[in-house]
A and B are shown apart, each in its own frame.
Chain A
């Protein structure tokens, strides 16, 4: 039986806000790739504008979290959970920046056709979006094991990125006139690779919130 009704309500509101923000970010990623694939300037512009709303949501949630800390003095797992929220909304906001980065490429280069049909880049986007959805689900479910599993999927995204990179390198070496268009594809792929990396940050926060351990789950080979 809870005896802190207002406190529980504030925590639930913060949780719902994080879920809502993650949906906004997921939508931005999906639409940025759609706009990229179709060179759709209007959709790209909408993605770019949605970035401001996502930023506002981040500031609102940060304010809510700090207010809870200031007024309710959370302790133990509650404190860790709120600290994790603060990190997660920062990562979500940066993921939205990456989506806006893809949209910006469309806005600047839509008059030129894509160098090649997109195959791996949409797959990277799908994998990144699935990792985002699952990491937020793990956060809500307080499931550290699920979080650890999600991090393993980042390798798939990294492998796709390397594949895209080497493929585009071949284009550029074969015909230097493709360098500008190939580089734009590489930028898009790089944004998606970073989005997947950000989900691993979210997973690390899930492990911290649940177990109280600060752990780097995605250790680089370098």
Chain B
């Protein structure tokens, strides 16, 4: 198994003398579910400390691709991922790499907020504890809650249940929990789809703050959200076999004002189909 130091994470990233061009590179990535080819030949460079948005119609494989980055597809028995997922220079799709270690370095926030049925404090401290993080617990909890822009709202009720928070607060708690394990990449799979507009904007503001230190890859169906928050946008579509394909990648500003591929144009102007 490849250990944490080799994988890098935030500590490894800090040791690097210069910022690499890509923190994650997907090369010739294909994903099968049984005999069905779900995603074909994805080649994608994810720049560090930027937000990369994956957009596309339902079923085009964007969440599947996202889950490859931290080996979450390993949890689906029928899933088979081929190709390379280069993270800090190491192919984390290799059998030699421990997927649990990958997930420690590549955090994930899901569509529906899923705090543990524990106190706000323990939601953050517990993950750090089982991952052997030695930072003072109180300091860690405060740092992560501040990082997730939640501290001021919960600092007086840290012993109350995380489940008692509003949906938007729960999602920020989940982001704080992710920060506790010191990842350097955060995957977000439709993190605002269950939230009201104000909570959504808070998460988006938070993302723009987090990206100063972390790399974020987000899957979203909300194109306005992709346009608002991301630096790079990747458009996926479906071929005639209903296999997901990556159509176009570009700076978000260009993708939403002057996309180069007519399929992207049709999708983002709402003329798809």
A152 lies within 8 A of chain B by Cβ: no
Query: Are A78 and B269 neighbours in the complex by a CB distance under 8 Å?
Result: yes
Query: Are A80 and B258 neighbours in the complex by a CB distance under 8 Å?
Result: yes
Given contacts A212-B257, A212-B258, contact A77 B270 (CB under 8 A): no
Contact pattern, B 230-266, Cβ under 8 Å of A = 1, otherwise 0: 0000000000000000000000000011110000110
Query: Are A75 and B256 neighbours in the complex by a CB distance under 8 Å?
Result: yes
Q: Report the bound CA distance from A2 to B31 in whole Å.
A: 32
Nearest residue, chain B, Cβ from A3: B273
Given contacts A2-B271, A4-B271, contact A76 B259 (CB under 8 A): yes
Query: Which residues of chain A from 76 to 102 have a CB within 8 Å of any chain B CB?
Result: 76-80
Query: Are A77 and B265 neighbours in the complex by a CB distance under 8 Å?
Result: yes
Report the count of interface residues on A (CB-CB < 8 A).
Answer: 14
Given contacts A3-B270, A4-B271, contact A76 B224 (CB under 8 A): no
Q: Report the bound CA distance from A2 to B271 in whole Å.
A: 5
A74 lies within 8 A of chain B by Cβ: yes
CB distance from B108 to the nearest CB of A (A): 28
CB distance from B230 to the nearest CB of A (A): 14
B86 lies within 8 A of chain A by Cβ: no
B223 lies within 8 A of chain A by Cβ: yes
Query: Are A3 and B271 neighbours in the complex by a CB distance under 8 Å?
Result: yes
Q: Report the bound CA distance from A7 to B268 in whole Å.
A: 13
Query: Are B269 and A74 neighbours in the complex by a CB distance under 8 Å?
Result: yes
Given contacts A80-B258, A212-B257, A212-B258, contact A75 B269 (CB under 8 A): yes
A76 interface neighbour in B268, B272, B273, Cβ under 8 Å: B268
Query: Which residues of chain B from 197 to 245 have a CB within 8 Å of any chain A CB?
Result: 223-224, 227
CB distance from B272 to the nearest CB of A (A): 7
Nearest residue, chain B, Cβ from A4: B270
Query: Are B270 and A76 neighbours in the complex by a CB distance under 8 Å?
Result: no
CB distance from A85 to the nearest CB of B (A): 15
Nearest residue, chain B, Cβ from A79: B257
Q: Report the bound CA distance from A73 to B268 in whole Å.
A: 10
Q: Report the bound CA distance from A75 to B268 in whole Å.
A: 6
CB distance from B116 to the nearest CB of A (A): 37
CB distance from A83 to the nearest CB of B (A): 9
Chain B CB count within 10 A is highest, among A75, A77, A80, A212, for A75
Contact pattern, A 53-80, Cβ under 8 Å of B = 1, otherwise 0: 0000000000000000000011111111
CB distance from A8 to the nearest CB of B (A): 9
A1 lies within 8 A of chain B by Cβ: yes
User: What B residues does A2 contact at CB under 8 A?
Assistant: 271
Q: Report the bound CA distance from A157 to B52 in whole Å.
A: 50
User: What B residues does A75 contact at CB under 8 A?
Assistant: 223, 227, 256-257, 268-270
CB distance from A134 to the nearest CB of B (A): 25
CB distance from A86 to the nearest CB of B (A): 15
Chain A CB count within 10 A is highest, among B227, B258, B265, B273, for B258
Query: Are A7 and B270 neighbours in the complex by a CB distance under 8 Å?
Result: yes
CB distance from B229 to the nearest CB of A (A): 15
Given contacts A1-B273, A3-B270, A7-B270, contact A76 B258 (CB under 8 A): yes
Q: Report the bound CA distance from A7 to B223 in whole Å.
A: 17
Nearest residue, chain A, Cβ from B254: A212
Q: Report the bound CA distance from A3 to B256 in whole Å.
A: 19
Contact pattern, A 202-217, Cβ under 8 Å of B = 1, otherwise 0: 0000000000100000
Q: Would you list 19 pairs from A and B whose C-beta atoms are within 8 A, ordered by A residue?
A: A1-B273, A3-B271, A3-B272, A3-B273, A7-B270, A73-B224, A75-B227, A75-B256, A75-B257, A75-B268, A75-B270, A76-B256, A76-B257, A76-B258, A76-B268, A76-B269, A78-B269, A79-B256, A80-B257
Please give 20 more A-B residue pairs, beta carbons under 8 A apart, in addition to A4-B270, A76-B256: A3-B270, A3-B271, A3-B272, A3-B273, A4-B271, A73-B223, A74-B269, A75-B223, A75-B257, A75-B270, A76-B258, A76-B259, A76-B264, A76-B265, A76-B269, A78-B269, A79-B256, A80-B258, A212-B257, A212-B258
